[in-house]
């Protein structure tokens, strides 16, 4: 029998401060959520105040020169001193890099992509494979499915097929079970494998008889597999507990009320530009009353400490909001720059663009892009669109032009909408129609996109 006792161990790990977490929360918040957050912090922090009821946000951080040069510098020095005390030394370049990485990698609540990146950051991979896995995570949609075929991504030339396949295997081992699947069958099999049931009756049904299972043809399945109908019925019930949407619990757009955070407008010459709506955001600023009060209570250490802490927090909040606005505006401007075809003609003409592409251009972490666009919506000439939809890989047409996955899905929707209801297009028919239009995609890709669009197979769409 082992002895029971106390054991002491020493380990080192980084923890986010409340200020850091608040900065990340501000970055991820959409405009409505940010408005609520700013009203909450002004209610709790007496040094922050709301000016009037205007809808635009004001970054009023102007202070007297003496205050700016002495008190605020002291606050920043105090913060650095706290860091040095905790770490036992000065902030090295590695410390700063890790701090910036924390800002760009952790927030709560998190999206599915951020959850996957967190697991990636805990993996011991080479720099090259880290980039490959990050790239592939950027191609996983909010349902948890891989939006593009490995073959299609390899043709883009950024990474080899072998590297992408290895990265996909790694992602498919991440939580939640089923993530990284390319279709429903693979999603269910991944979940069964995780449960140790990959070679069970359930696994065999999913592998070879999923269509019959959907039509509840238990007798046919039983005959084909050489098992009893009761065994098939029990297996079918077990399969029903699996999830077809492994990413559903990470929905970043749970707010049922949607409004535009950004709008794409055209100037007099027809050139598009991005504008932050700031809808519902209060004007906030540091209260002059409390700035003046700080200089009058030099002999009251407790009051001075209270004011310094709150003023420091106020500046952190104003800075975080300013960073959030600047980041969102830079991303929006980059979208306009890269998506000229969409601006003129609509979703069909979206160009392939990944979060990694934009992150490299803006020189930020890819997770920062993911968090900044999460739950944000853009008012465009073609309607209100979730910002995340602009990020997708794609295909090259026979003319050498590129079209995004979203554009392919849009083309499939248009083909189905125009088809003869008495003779609906099969997946092969859609493949041929797309090929005639210059878009070459595999039939299995057509089937996957059709499922993602919620379009039934041709035999179930047929009308007499």
- What tokens does 250 get? 């990470």
Per-residue confidence at 19, pLDDT binned at 50, 70, 90?
Answer: low
* pLDDT, greater one: 367 or 380: 380
Please write the tens of the pLDDT for every residue from 177-232.
Answer: 889 998 888 989 999 888 888 788 888 988 888 888 888 888 888 888 888 888 88
pLDDT at 81 over 80: no
pLDDT for 273 equals: 92
Which H helix or E strand runs over 317?
helix 301-338
pLDDT for 69 equals: 42
Q: In 3-state terms, what secondary structure has residue 376?
A: coil
Q: If you compute the radius of gyration of the chain from its CA atoms, what whole number of angstroms results? A: 27
Question: For 93-97, 206-210, 300-304, 365-369, which range has the lowest pLDDT when averaged over its residues?
Answer: 93-97
Long-range contacts of 10-14 (CB under 8 A, 24+ apart): 14/98, 14/102
**Dihedral angle computed from the Cα positions of residues 220, 221, 222 and 224, in that order, rounded to the nearest 10 degrees:** 90
- What tokens does 298 get? 């030099």
Q: What is the mean pLDDT of residues 2-16?
A: 50
Please write the tens of the pLDDT for every residue from 94-135.
Answer: 555 555 454 444 444 567 877 888 888 887 888 888 888 888
pLDDT at 38 over 90: no
What is d(CA 338, CA 359) in angstroms, rounded to the nearest whole number? 13
pTM for the whole structure = 0.48
pLDDT for 329 equals: 93
Strands (E), 252-380: 262-266, 272-276, 284-286, 377-380
CA nearest neighbour of 406 among 386, 436, 424:
386
CA nearest neighbour of 216 among 197, 198, 232:
232
CA nearest neighbour of 206 among 219, 169, 193:
193
pLDDT for 39 equals: 86
Q: What is the largest CA-CA distance in the chain?
A: 90
pLDDT for 326 equals: 92
Q: What is the mean pLDDT of residues 360-364?
A: 88
Give whole-number Cα distances, 206 to 168, 237, 264, 317, in Å. 21, 12, 45, 51
Q: What is the mean pLDDT of residues 47-54?
A: 68
Q: What is the mean pLDDT of residues 27-33?
A: 81
Q: What is the mean pLDDT of residues 287-293?
A: 74
pLDDT for 83 equals: 47
CA nearest neighbour of 347 among 430, 265, 407, 274:
407
% residues pLDDT > 70 (the chain)? 76
Q: What is the mean pLDDT of residues 411-430?
A: 83
109-113, 148-152, 288-292, 406-410 — most confident range: 148-152
What is d(CA 101, CA 367) in angstroms, rounded to the nearest whole number? 9
pLDDT for 60 equals: 44
Q: What is the mean pLDDT of residues 147-152?
A: 79
Residue 359 burial class via C-beta count within 10 angstroms: exposed 0-12, middle 13-18, buried 19 and up? buried
Per-residue confidence at 246, pLDDT binned at 50, 70, 90?
Answer: confident
% residues pLDDT > 90 (the chain)? 6
pLDDT at 2 over 70: no
Per-residue confidence at 264, pLDDT binned at 50, 70, 90?
Answer: very high
**Rounded-to-5 percentages of helix, strand, coil across the chain:** 55, 10, 35
pLDDT at 270 over 70: yes
């Amino acid at each position: 029998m082992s002895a029971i006792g106390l054991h002491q161990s020493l380990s080192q790990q980084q923890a986010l401060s409340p200020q850091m977490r608040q900065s990340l929360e501000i970055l991820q918040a959409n405009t409505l959520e940010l408005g609520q957050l700013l009203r909450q912090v002004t209610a709790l922090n007496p040094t922050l105040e709301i000016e009037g009821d205007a809808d635009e946000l004001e970054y009023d951080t102007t202070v007297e020169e003496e205050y700016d040069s002495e008190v605020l510098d002291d606050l920043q020095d105090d913060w650095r001193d706290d860091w040095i005390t905790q770490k036992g030394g000065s902030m090295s370049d590695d410390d700063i890099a890790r701090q910036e990485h924390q800002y760009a990698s952790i927030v709560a609540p998190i999206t599915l992509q951020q959850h996957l990146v967190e697991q990636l950051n805990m993996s011991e991979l080479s720099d090259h494979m880290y980039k490959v896995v990050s790239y592939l995570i950027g191609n996983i949609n909010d349902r948890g499915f891989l939006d593009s075929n490995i073959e299609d991504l390899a043709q883009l030339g950024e990474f080899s097929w072998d590297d992408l396949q290895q990265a996909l295997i790694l992602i498919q081992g991440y939580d939640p079970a089923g993530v990284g699947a390319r279709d429903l069958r693979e999603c269910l099999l991944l979940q069964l494998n995780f449960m140790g049931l990959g070679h069970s009756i359930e696994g065999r049904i999913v592998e070879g008889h999923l269509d019959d299972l959907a039509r509840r043809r238990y007798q046919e399945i039983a005959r084909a597999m050489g098992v009893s109908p009761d065994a098939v019925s029990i297996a079918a019930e077990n399969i029903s507990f699996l999830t077809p949407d492994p990413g559903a619990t990470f929905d970043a757009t749970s707010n049922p009320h949607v409004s535009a955070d950004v709008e794409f407008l055209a100037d007099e010459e027809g050139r598009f530009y991005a504008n932050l709506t700031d809808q519902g955001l209060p004007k906030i600023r540091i209260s002059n009353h409390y700035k003046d009060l700080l200089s009058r209570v030099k002999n009251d250490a407790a009051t001075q400490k209270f004011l310094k802490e709150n003023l420091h927090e106020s500046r952190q909040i104003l800075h975080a909001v300013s960073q959030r606005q600047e980041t969102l505006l830079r991303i929006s401007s980059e979208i306009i720059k890269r998506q000229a075809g969409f601006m003129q003609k609509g979703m069909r003409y979206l160009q392939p663009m990944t979060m990694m592409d934009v992150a490299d251009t803006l020189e930020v972490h890819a997770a920062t892009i993911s968090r900044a666009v999460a739950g944000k919506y853009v008012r465009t000439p073609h309607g209100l669109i979730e910002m995340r939809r602009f990020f997708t890989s794609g295909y090259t047409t026979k003319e050498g032009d590129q079209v995004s996955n979203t554009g392919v899905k849009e083309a499939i929707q248009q083909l189905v909408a125009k088809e003869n209801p008495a003779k609906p297009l099969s997946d092969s028919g859609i493949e041929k129609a797309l090929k005639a239009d210059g878009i070459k995609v595999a039939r299995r890709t057509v089937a996957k996109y059709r499922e993602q669009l919620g379009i039934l197979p041709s035999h179930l769409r047929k009308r007499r």
